[in-house]
Amino acid sequence: MTTIQILVSGVLIGGVYALLAVGITLVLGVMKIVNFAQGELLMVGMYLTLLLHTVLGLHPYVAFPIVVVALFGLGAGIHFGLLRWVVDRGHTQQIVLTLGIGIVLQSAALMIFGGSFQSLQIEPFRGGSIVIGSISIGTTRLAAFVVAGIATIALLFLLDRTLTGKAMRATAMDRDAATLMGIPVQRVYLITMGIGSALAGAAGVMLMPIYPVYPTVGVNILLIGFVVVVLGGLGSVAGAFLGGIIIGVVEALAGFWLGAAMSQIVVFALFIVILLVRPQGILKGDTV
Amino acid sequence: MSQQIVNRSSGPIDPMVRSRPLPKHSLLIGFGVVAIALLAFVSSSAPVFYGHMIVMTLIYAALATSWNIIGGFAGQLSLGHAAFFGLGAYTSSILFVDFGISPWIGLLIALLGGATLGLLIGIPTFRLRGPYFALATLALGIILLNVAVHFRELTGGHVGISLPPTEGWGTMTFLNRWQYVVIAGGYLLVCLLISGIILSNRFGYQLAAVREDEEAARALGVNATRVKLLAGTLSGGLAAGIGTIYAQYILFLTPDSVLGTAVSIEIIVLAIVGGSGKLYGPLLGAVLLIPAGQLVLREFGGALPGLHTLVYGVIVIIVILLFPRGIWGMLTDTAALINRRRKHS
């Protein structure tokens, strides 16, 4: 029974990983940039949720649209001010630039909020859980999972059924050809970076009632996010969602059987093996 | 500067090295020895803060210079160089504390260990290109970090290892700072010398070719895998060696202080800001950023924690956007431009 309980927890926390990873994979697929600031964007989302709660008394789930829109703006702003200039440059420059952006966001959070762990206490949700047989499901975790699923489906719909999505897919496939077809590539990048950032914000909101926030909270989650992205296949949205759940489960089971540090070793060793053996990921064929 | 064609778009090769390799290296040794002697003299009488600043700058300069061999010369972005640094620090410290082996022998074993790790990691990962390689090395760093956390009996886990303060050259432990300046400075000089020799040799050209276009390099008969492996081995070994020196200086190790992702990122920041792929780029980066960071930390660390890393982040962003070839690259470009203007007028 314990195993099933852990399995369920793993699947649910995998939803948050998926939400973050979908954002990374989208930016990577369309812009070909590995965004190392994605974890810090999630951190910003968490602090923003906390701030809206403590200052305005907003429930995190009510604050959700505000945070998502704010993070979309932040992401679009980062593209407009900074990333725009390195889209044509090599990977090293892009990675180091996003690392720099991450350092700035992290330091700013440390200066504003201090380094201590802060968590959100909301009574109706705190400790709330649904019990089925001997398995209990935390309501906040379940909510995070459901939102992750909805966000992924919505993104797939956007990519598959709308003109904006079509432009994004075209840009992902061949930037020059897309430009020749009259697609405003820079605007597509702006939207892509905005959506990627908004997804990190969504993950931040859903994580806030589950996990305490501190300035470097994004670092470890980002690393898990990369594992998920590679597992799912770089640029594949559906793969990232599936990968998030797989990594959530693997981490939870390995953590239970082998301990926290060992579970990290297992997850990242798995990561290197996937990179070497199946770099195209579990789902072949790009969705983006 | 003779009539050499300066390849401005790429090329790590300084025209002076190309024309006369030997005098340049002896110049480097001469300057280096004098600089180390001066710094040692200064650090013996300077306040603790400045002495510490000098040693840390030298240690990080050596670390960034060792990263530069694989990250700069070969153009393979290693995001996990703390793995080598930490491996060196832990290897010599465990040998010293548990087995009483002198850190000097520990240093040699660390060099070999780092080189072996560089080789072993390189064999599978050098097949990966671009961001894949960066992500694989990042994972390697995290794995080693967690290995250090997990195997408590050997590494002390999160508690870390404290080294005994038994002073003397045999134990590489000193109460004063000037000895550390001599050791770390000497090590940095060795790293620079090895880098200089690489750049002025065939090996350096091969690395540059692989960095600029691996397919083309292979087509021209460069054994890309072999040269990358050699660069990775050298880079890993040198990074591990400075880890031992760091451990002997701080006398206290935790997984996060030597194996943390923050260490890996700091190395890259120093090299990129200074100018990766340039012989003196990482050194310049360390000389500019480490003292600046420590000064900001001392002045504002209490009131505004995070300001020194904020400054770091802003500098990284500015350098990437405005001086993609680093500050060293910007300076040499400007110098070349002025030179050309003067000739033409």
Annotate B22-46 with three-state secondary structure: HHHHHHHHHHHHHHHHHHHHHHHHC
The domains located in chain B, with CATH, are 15-286 (1.10.3470)
Which of A89, A103, A114 lies at the smallest CB-CB distance from B313? Answer: A103
Q: Is the pLDDT of residue B20 over 70?
A: no
| More confident site: B325 or A128 | B325
Tell me the count of A-B CB pairs closer than 8 A. Answer: 135
Which of B71, B134, B313 lies at the smallest CB-CB distance from A100? Answer: B313
Distance from CA of A36 to the nearest CA of B (A): 11
A122-131, A177-186, A271-280: least confident range: A122-131
User: What digits encode the pLDDT tens for the residues A215-232?
Assistant: 989 888 888 888 888 888
Q: Is the pLDDT of residue B2 over 50?
A: no
Q: Which of A30-39, B3-12, B164-173 has the highest mean pLDDT?
A: A30-39
- How many CA within 13 A on the CB side of residue A97? 25
Q: Is the pLDDT of residue B257 over 80?
A: yes
DSSP 3-state of B126: coil
Beta-carbon separation of A268 and B139 below 8 A: yes
Q: How confident is the model at residue B132 (pLDDT cuts 50, 70, 90)?
A: confident
Cα(A65)–Cα(A52) distance, rounded to whole angstroms? 12
Q: Is the pLDDT of residue A88 over 80?
A: yes
pLDDT of residue A126: 54
The overall longest dimension of chain B from CA atoms, in Å, is 71
DSSP B4: P
> What's the ipTM?
0.87
Q: Is the pLDDT of residue B330 over 70?
A: yes
Range 98-117 of A in CB contact (< 8 A) with B: 99-104, 106-111, 114-115
Per residue, the 3-state secondary structure of chain A, as one string, reads CHHHHHHHHHHHHHHHHHHHHHHHHHHHHHHCCCCCCHHHHHHHHHHHHHHHHHHHCCCHHHHHHHHHHHHHHHHHHHHHHCHHHHCCCCHHHHHHHHHHHHHHHHHHHHHHHCCCCECCCCCCCCCCEEEECCEEEEHHHHHHHHHHHHHHHHHHHHHHHCHHHHHHHHHHHCHHHHHHCCCCHHHHHHHHHHHHHHHHHHHHHHHCCCCCECCCHHHHHHHHHHHHHHHHCCCCHHHHHHHHHHHHHHHHHHHHHHCHHHHHHHHHHHHHHHHHHCCCCCCCCCCC
Q: Is the pLDDT of residue A285 over 80?
A: no
Cα(A62)–Cα(A207) distance, rounded to whole angstroms? 14
Task: Determine the average pLDDT of the residues in B15-30.
Answer: 65
Distance from CA of A194 to the nearest CA of B (A): 20
Q: Minimal Cα distance from B72: which residue of A? A: A92
Residues from B contacting A (CB-CB < 8 Å) are 71, 75, 77, 79, 124-125, 127-128, 130-132, 134-136, 138-140, 142-143, 146-147, 149-150, 261, 265, 268-269, 272, 276, 304-307, 309-310, 312-314, 316-317, 320-321, 324
Q: How confident is the model at residue B4 (pLDDT cuts 50, 70, 90)?
A: very low
Distance from CA of B39 to the nearest CA of A (A): 31
pLDDT of residue A123: 57
Q: Is the pLDDT of residue A286 over 60?
A: no
Cα(A52)–Cα(A183) distance, rounded to whole angstroms? 38
pLDDT of residue A274: 83
Q: Minimal Cα distance from A101: which residue of B? A: B313
Q: Is the pLDDT of residue A238 over 50?
A: yes
Interface with B, mutate which of A24, A99, A263, A270 (most B CBs under 10 A): A99
Q: Is the pLDDT of residue A65 over 90?
A: yes
User: What digits encode the pLDDT tens for the residues B197-245?
Assistant: 999 899 999 999 999 888 899 888 888 889 999 999 999 999 999 999 9
Cα(A249)–Cα(A243) distance, rounded to whole angstroms? 10
Distance from CA of A47 to the nearest CA of B (A): 16
DSSP B253: E
A54 touches chain B (CB under 8 A): no
pTM: 0.87
Which of A85, A91, A264 lies at the smallest CB-CB distance from B146? Answer: A264
Q: Class assignment of domain A8-114+137-277?
A: mainly alpha
Give chain B's mean pLDDT: 87
Hey, where are the domains in chain A? 8-114+137-277
Task: Determine the average pLDDT of the residues in A30-53.
Answer: 93
Task: Determine the average pLDDT of the residues in B252-279.
Answer: 91
The DSSP string of B135-197 is HHHHHHHHHHHHHHHH-HHHH-GGG-EE-----BTTTTB-SSSHHHHHHHHHHHHHHHHHHHH
Kindly list the residues from chain B whose CB atom is less than 8 angstroms away from the CB atom of residue A262: 146, 150
A33-37, B33-37, B256-260, B296-300: least confident range: B296-300
> Residues with Cβ < 8 Å from B279, sequence gap 6 or more?
B12, B14, B17, B192, B195, B196, B199
pLDDT of residue A125: 54
Q: Is the pLDDT of residue B177 over 90?
A: no
Residue B123, both tokens: 């064999």
Give the N- to C-terminal CA distance of chain B in Å, as an integer.
18
Residue with tokens 């859903």: A206
Distance from CA of B254 to the nearest CA of A (A): 14
Residue B290, both tokens: 């480490």
| More confident site: A260 or B260 | B260
pLDDT of residue B22: 55
- How many CA within 13 A on the CB side of residue A67? 30
Going from the C-alpha of A44 to that of each of A218, B59, B123, B258, the distances in angstroms are 9, 34, 39, 27
Interface with A, mutate which of B77, B135, B155, B266 (most A CBs under 10 A): B135
User: What digits encode the pLDDT tens for the residues A169-215?
Assistant: 998 888 889 889 888 999 999 999 999 999 999 999 998 888 889 99
Beta-carbon separation of A93 and B324 below 8 A: yes
Give the N- to C-terminal CA distance of chain A in Å, as an integer.
39
